[in-house]
Amino acid sequence: MTLHLKDNELSLRALEPSDLHWLYEVENETALWQVSDTITPFSAAILSEYIANAQRDIYAEKQLRLVIQVANAPIGLVDLFDFNPKHHRAMVGIVILPHYRNKGFGKRALRLLLSYARNVLDCHQLAATVTEDNTESRCLFESAGFKCAGVREEWIYRERTYINEYFYQLIF
């Protein structure tokens, strides 16, 4: 089997020390915090340490973060987290920077990650959670074959209101 973490122009790669400034900007972009549980900024020192430790084995760390790159420019991140090799499953997260959205990059990156999770990590299923109001992400996961397996009602509290969160699964 030949596995490629790239297609004709897009690639998924490990974080490098040279990504520190870019990762600092992404992680501290408050508009992106709504898709995570982030509520405080990250320091450059913390992110530098994270990058240094990100090279560890997914079996030990239970997570893997890859940079989505096009033409040598980072355009987003894709994560496998809560990796459970015993049960052959993991959670998936993806963020594409605003300028690169709606150009098919997310779908292509997700397709590469799915292939890696299935063929290298032997995952039987992947899951993702997406808020009800994030229609772009819901469409992305649905287009990749994920099915909505449930709704957590009023699960996310944001801007003085509660938002439903959808639980998506893809079983290979």
134-167 tens-digit pLDDT: 999 999 999 999 999 999 999 999 889 999 999 9
Give pLDDT, residue 2. Answer: 47
Work out the widest C-alpha separation in the chain, in whole angstroms.
50
- What is the reported pLDDT for 33? 74
* Average pLDDT of the segment spanning 53-64: 86
Note the pLDDT of residue 157: 92
User: Which amino acid appears at position 81 of this protein?
Assistant: F
> What is the residue-averaged pLDDT of the chain?
92
Q: Could you report the per-residue pLDDT of 1-51, keeping only the tens digit for each?
A: 445 699 999 999 999 999 999 999 989 887 777 767 777 888 989 998 888
What is the CATH number that goes with domain 10-123? Answer: 3.40.630.30
Cα gap 105→108, rounded to integer Å: 5
Beta-bridge partner residues of 162:
157
Distance CA 56, CA 67 (A): 15
- CA dihedral angle for residue 65, residue 70, residue 71, residue 72, rounded to 10 degrees: -10
Structure confidence at residue 56 as a pLDDT band (50, 70, 90): confident
Q: Which amino acid is at 34?
A: Q
Q: How far apart are CA 172 and CA 170, in angstroms?
A: 6
Return the higher-pLDDT residue of 158 and 67.
Answer: 67
Looking at residue 3, its pLDDT comes to 55
